[in-house]
Structure 1
Amino acid sequence: MNDVHTAEPRGSVRLAYVLDPPVTTELREGIAELWADVVNAGGAVGFVPPVTPEDTRPQLRKHLIGMAEGTTRLLVGTAERGRPVATAFFALNTHRLMRHWVWLQTVMVHPDRQGGGAGRELMAAAEAAATAIDPDITGIRLTCRGGLGLERFYAACGYREVGRVPAAIKLGDGELRDDVTMWLPLG
């Protein structure tokens, strides 16, 4: 477990960003609840609202299996009593020609924390965590759902758009969004 970064995005409650926290029942349940809260507030993290924590658990389980196998790392931002209010999962590349960069997945900040800089703080902590994972990592790649302004947010955090697949994400009948790939060079 590594303390990566602390931030005070809104109010007087500090967020502590930790890489590879112990995976407890409380952490698993907290992330499942966070995921549902983010989706239900309009967040683009793999689901369409409405969802419950139970709906998010199968996807969370995939991340946890990757963590157990050593191919996924978790960065979590916690608030009072260790409650998770921000996450980012790193998927490590196993292909020998691509081990020098990582995927950033399931990037979330609780709706109550949005709009006060917590997202930018999470992205800064993710950049620091990538270097902590391996100093030879030269970049972070992520994808986001088009049409929500996420590209502008990630660009403001230093990422640049490097690819776009039109209409690759189907939210419902007749509602298609682009799948946008963003890249942050490190070092």
Structure 2
Amino acid sequence: MTDDSLPELARISDVHEVRPALRDQLTDCWTEVTNSGGAAGFPFPPVDHEQVAPVVDELLGSLDPRRSRLVTAAFGGVLAGWVVLRRDPHRLVEHWGTVHHLQTRPGLRGRGVGSALMRELREVARDELGLEQLHLAARGGEGLEDFYGRLGWREVGRWPGALRLAPDDTRDEVLMLLDAL
């Protein structure tokens, strides 16, 4: 028996595991998130499928079983959200990973998708990649510090005024750490 209220999670470590339908869903999700004002890598909406697709292809092409993972969440085969984890290959910092592009489809927010993705990512980091800590940078002014804080992350610094979204909209970049994997 399955619980339809919980997303189905998948771990992907190689571009060859990504079917064209998933690639299109990733692109559509990223487009929707960006166009709804989400802080997901395209700071100046609107964007369209043609702009986002090459960036998705680049991201998928960089997947490597030793250094990165894409984690997806779906309801009934429909992508609800996704996140990427990367490990730097340099020995000095190979014990930690960086979280990129956590996003959930706007119409599916409030169903625990983001939290489920981050919990799964924590397991992947610890159990599959042997990482000791995770880092991320979040756009200030979005309430993301509270979201990540509820999942055990802590703020370790800020780059004040680092992000200029418009002449009258400058935000901090918030640096966060999860070190109890």
Q: Give the structure-2-normalised TM-score.
A: 0.88
Distance in 2 between residues matched to 1:160 and 1:109, nearest whole Å: 21
Aligned residue-pair number: 176
Per mean C-alpha deviation after superposition, the further-off stretch among 67-76 and 87-96 is: 67-76
Gaps of 5+ in 2: none
Per mean C-alpha deviation after superposition, the further-off stretch among 91-100 and 47-56 is: 47-56
CA RMSD of aligned residues (A): 2.0
Aligned to 1:23: 18
Residue 93 of structure 2 aligns to a residue whose secondary structure is: coil
Gaps of 5+ in 1: 1-6
| Cα distance, 1:42 vs structure 2 | 2.0
Task: Choose from 127, 150, 173 the match for 1:156.
Answer: 150
Matched-pair identity in % = 31
Residue 35 of structure 1 aligns to a residue whose secondary structure is: helix
Label 1:143 to 1:93 Cα distance change in 2 as closer, same or farther (>3 A): same
Task: Choose from 160, 166, 169 the match for 1:166.
Answer: 160
User: Is 1:57 the counterpart of 2:68 in the alignment?
Assistant: no
User: Is 1:115 the counterpart of 2:110 in the alignment?
Assistant: yes
Aligned to 2:133: 139
Distance in 1 between residues matched to 2:64 and 2:123, nearest whole Å: 22
**Residues 38-117 of structure 1: matches in 2 within 5 Å?**
38-47=33-42, 48-67=44-63, 71-80=67-76, 82-117=77-112
Task: Report the residue type matching 1:63 in the other structure.
Answer: L
Label 1:138 to 1:71 Cα distance change in 2 as closer, same or farther (>3 A): closer
Distance in 2 between residues matched to 1:69 and 1:120, nearest whole Å: 23
Native 8 Å contact 2:73 2:113 kept in 1: no
Q: Give the structure-1-normalised TM-score.
A: 0.85
